[in-house]
Structure 1
Amino acid sequence: MEITIREARLEDSSAITAILRSLGWSEHIQQEAFTETQAQIAERLARLEREQTHTILVAEQQGQVVGYVAVHWYFHLMRGSDGYVSELFVHPDQTGHGIGSLLLDTIEKQARQRGCTRLLLMNRRIRESYARKFYAKHGWEELGDAAFFSLTLPATSM
């Protein structure tokens, strides 16, 4: 079946919410009402559209959004432009059909067009994609000398 990769639209918030809930990774999302999560995603999509610092692409198959990727484009002094892939999710019923690969390939092409010198991402070792070596199969290298740190900040109202 044909897969179309396109820019995300506000009306995709429902499908993206369904994908996130189907993964079952976030206790917060699982406990939150579907409509609440959907509203937050729609708000974030609108914000990202205004800021123009991100690219959100969806994979569509027979009119249904079955996956998406989110990339942050940023500049820094030492290397120039980079892209950070913060999210790449495919609905669990659709994995293994090349959807994630198409999303990743599309982002790589966009990064080259933007003159980026590097794409980065974090993949948790407990994830199935890590076990399958999904990113390694696409030429990505695990940085053995790097540590990825996180600082959780208290929630604030926007």
Structure 2
Amino acid sequence: MMEWIVRKYQTEDAQSIWELNTKELGYVFSLEETEEKLARLTNNPSHCLLVAEMQGKVVGYIHGNDYEVVYMPSFKNIMGLAVAKDYQHQGIGKSLLMALEQWAKETGAKGVRLVSGGERFAAHQFYENCGYQKKKMQANFRKEF
């Protein structure tokens, strides 16, 4: 079994994250837009971007940020987690999750939360296996401009 490392995002990881978002998560967002967004987020201390690297190749990533609301303690929010299909079921996703949880603890958060699409049943099982509990069902609304 090959080993991986979890490390902070670096600018040269942008294309790999874009590919993971496109292939594994199904998001349509250009590479240029992804690079611009990553440049903004990496300079913001309320965001954490980590990648899993195996033999010099980025095979997964996690993005978390501050989750501050007036009705509960400070949490961190997982905004994205993806592992390349050929590297899934090896513990990489769990390693990324644990690294983000460590960041959450180090920065004083009381926990980590996330929202996962209703159709992502395998992801739901993964999160439950990692100790996350489903708290409520929600509808996702947005208005685009």
> Considering the TM-score relative to the shorter chain, is it more than 0.5?
yes
Residue 128 of structure 1: CA displacement? Answer: 4.4
In the alignment, which residue of structure 2 is the partner of 1:153?
Answer: 143
Residue 129 of structure 1: CA displacement? Answer: 2.4
Which protein has the bigger helix share? Answer: 1
**Number of residue-to-residue matches in the alignment:** 144
Any stretches of 5+ residues in structure 1 without a counterpart?
30-36
Percent of pairs with identical residues: 28
3-state DSSP class of the match of 1:51?
coil
In the alignment, which residue of structure 2 is the partner of 1:138?
Answer: 130
**Contact 1:6/1:57 (8 A) holds in 2:** yes
In the alignment, which residue of structure 2 is the partner of 1:117?
Answer: 110
Distance 1:125 1:154, change over 3 A: closer
RMSD (CA atoms): 1.8
In structure 2, how many angstroms separate the alpha carbons of the residues matched to 1:76 and 1:22?
32
Residue 38 of structure 1: CA displacement? Answer: 1.6
Q: Deviations over 1:54-110 (max 9, x none)?
A: 101010000000000010113344433210001110111111111100000111111
**Contact 1:8/1:57 (8 A) holds in 2:** yes
**Contact 2:75/2:111 (8 A) holds in 1:** yes
Letter of the structure 1 residue corresponding to residue 143 of structure 2:
L
Q: Give the TM-score normalised by structure 2.
A: 0.89
Q: Following TM superposition, where does structure 1 have runs of at least 4 consecutive aligned residues deviating by more than 4 angstroms?
A: none
Distance 1:24 1:56, change over 3 A: closer
Q: Give the TM-score normalised by structure 1.
A: 0.82
Residue 49 of structure 1: CA displacement? Answer: 2.0
Letter of the structure 1 residue corresponding to residue 15 of structure 2:
S
**Contact 1:15/1:65 (8 A) holds in 2:** yes
In structure 2, how many angstroms separate the alpha carbons of the residues matched to 1:84 and 1:67?
18
In structure 2, how many angstroms separate the alpha carbons of the residues matched to 1:104 and 1:140?
11
| 1:25 corresponds to 2:40 | no
